[in-house]
Chain A
Amino acid sequence: MLTTVLHIAFLLFSLSVLMNFWRLIQGPDLPDRILALDTIYINSLALLLLLGMYQNTQTYFEAALLIAMFGFVGTIAAGKFLLRGDLIE
């Protein structure tokens, strides 16, 4: 039963990432694209955690943690660039 539920969750998260990519390409302005990138990294992090559950390993945990940290840094850098026009003043 648990593997079936994991398959459904893989399908839902993959559809989510596809919709985020559509917003990333289509998005009319820059903040839309930053928001789409932010959501893409969170969804791919969830996909990594699901893969770790599916294969019953702890290997993907560090990768997920690194994606969380660097994705946050990237989002803040892009937002600050839109606000200030400059990152290091």
Chain B
Amino acid sequence: MDALNQLPAWSQWLAAFFILLGAIFAFIGSLGLAILPDFFTRLHAPTKNTTIGIGGIVIASILITSVQGSINLNELLIAIFLFLTAPISAHIMAKAALHTELKMFNRTKDFRQEGDSYEHILPNKKDMEP
């Protein structure tokens, strides 16, 4: 802890900026998860904001460890992995929510047309028949 306060001033300011940016973004994302009205609006808040939050924390961590000695890019692995996987998990969760046919808030628009089916994500009907 004492070592943190003896870093050069510019690196302290930069690291503090990125840590606060990440923490505020993640907090707003979780607030949206808590208070938004239906699942499809709630899906937006955490899956986007926590990505930025982790990005800010990781940049600050890289900065702090790199100023104290040799450049250390280990934490970038976590950021790259989350940047790759957060959209995939959001996509899977949206498909699952459409499949289970959740109730929508009255201002959430359903862009599915008449006869526009989601059969390709459902189990094959021929296999279900006896």
Contacts of A17 in B (CB 8 A): 30
Q: How large is the interface on B (under 10, 10 to 19, 20 to 34, 35 or more residues)?
A: 35 or more
A45 touches B3 (CB 8 A): no
| Chain B proximity of A84: nearest CB distance (Å) | 6
Q: Could you tell me the distance between the alpha carbons of A80 and B93 in the complex, rounded to whole angstroms?
A: 9
A84 touches B123 (CB 8 A): yes
Q: Which residues in chain B, 1-32, are within 8 Å of chain A measured between CB atoms?
A: 1, 3-5, 7, 12, 15-16, 19-20, 22-24, 26-27, 29-31
A46 touches B54 (CB 8 A): yes
Per-position contact with A for B68-104: 1 when CB-CB < 8 Å, else 0?
A: 1000101101100110011011001101110110100
Q: Which residues in chain A, 30-80, are within 8 Å of chain B measured between CB atoms?
A: 30-32, 34-36, 38-39, 42-43, 45-46, 49-50, 52-56, 58, 61, 64-65, 68-69, 72, 75-76, 79-80
Q: Could you tell me the distance between the alpha carbons of A36 and B45 in the complex, rounded to whole angstroms?
A: 11
- Secondary structure type dominating chain A contacts: helix
B30 touches A54 (CB 8 A): no
Residue of B nearest to A89 (CB): B123
Contacts of B27 in A (CB 8 A): 12-13, 15-16
Residue of B nearest to A62 (CB): B74
* B-binding residues in A (CB < 8 A): 1-3, 5-6, 8-9, 12-13, 15-17, 19-20, 22-23, 29-32, 34-36, 38-39, 42-43, 45-46, 49-50, 52-56, 58, 61, 64-65, 68-69, 72, 75-76, 79-80, 82-85
* A-binding residues in B (CB < 8 A): 1, 3-5, 7, 12, 15-16, 19-20, 22-24, 26-27, 29-31, 33-34, 39, 42-43, 46-47, 50, 53-54, 57-58, 60-61, 64-65, 68, 72, 74-75, 77-78, 81-82, 85-86, 88-89, 92-93, 95-97, 99-100, 102, 121, 123
